């Protein structure tokens, strides 16, 4: 993938703030760029939220699939309940990965406007999901 992803605005351009809201108003030709680093950090944040882990523990890789869409690869720990409490995970590991892939693809597309062709989730380790006390 190049250093920046380009989201073009087509031939119509962007409406200038402050122009008459009732009309189409003047348009500015050009393009908007989302840098590769911003795409990776966005994928990390979305994956951390979907997998219920800290964003600093998530690694993401975003590549162009060669057809205009993106491929997102996530490596993160699997959050497990505290051992010895006899609590069972909310869902099986495969279901967790499947749910997270769908959430990541949808939220990434919503936030960045880029199409996501594939999301790969790899659990490289596990962490104990300790409930936090409310003060």
Using 70 as the pLDDT threshold, list the residues of the chain that sit under it: 1-26, 84-89, 130-135
**What pLDDT, on the 0 to 100 scale, is given for residue 116?**
94
**Whole-angstrom distance between the N-terminal and C-terminal Cα of the chain?**
46
The predicted model scores a pTM of 0.71
Tokens of 116: 């996501």
Distance CA 32, CA 5 (A): 9
Instruction: Work out whether strand 31-35 and strand 27-28 pair parallel, antiparallel, or are unpaired.
Output: unpaired
Half-sphere exposure of 99 (CA within 13 A, CB side): 11
């Amino acid at each position: 993938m190049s250093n920046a992803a380009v989201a073009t605005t087509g031939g119509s351009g962007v409406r200038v703030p402050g122009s008459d809201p009732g009309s189409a108003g003047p348009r500015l030709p050009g393009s908007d760029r989302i840098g590769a680093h911003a795409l990776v950090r966005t994928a990390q944040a979305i994956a951390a939220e979907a997998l219920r882990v800290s964003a600093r523990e998530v690694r993401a890789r975003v590549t162009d699939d060669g057809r205009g869409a993106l491929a997102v690869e996530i490596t993160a720990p699997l959050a497990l309940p505290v051992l010895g409490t006899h609590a069972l995970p909310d869902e099986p590991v495969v279901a967790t990965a499947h749910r997270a892939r769908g959430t990541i693809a949808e939220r990434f597309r919503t936030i960045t406007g880029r199409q996501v062709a594939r999301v790969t989730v790899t659990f490289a380790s596990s962490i104990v999901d300790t409930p936090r006390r409310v003060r």
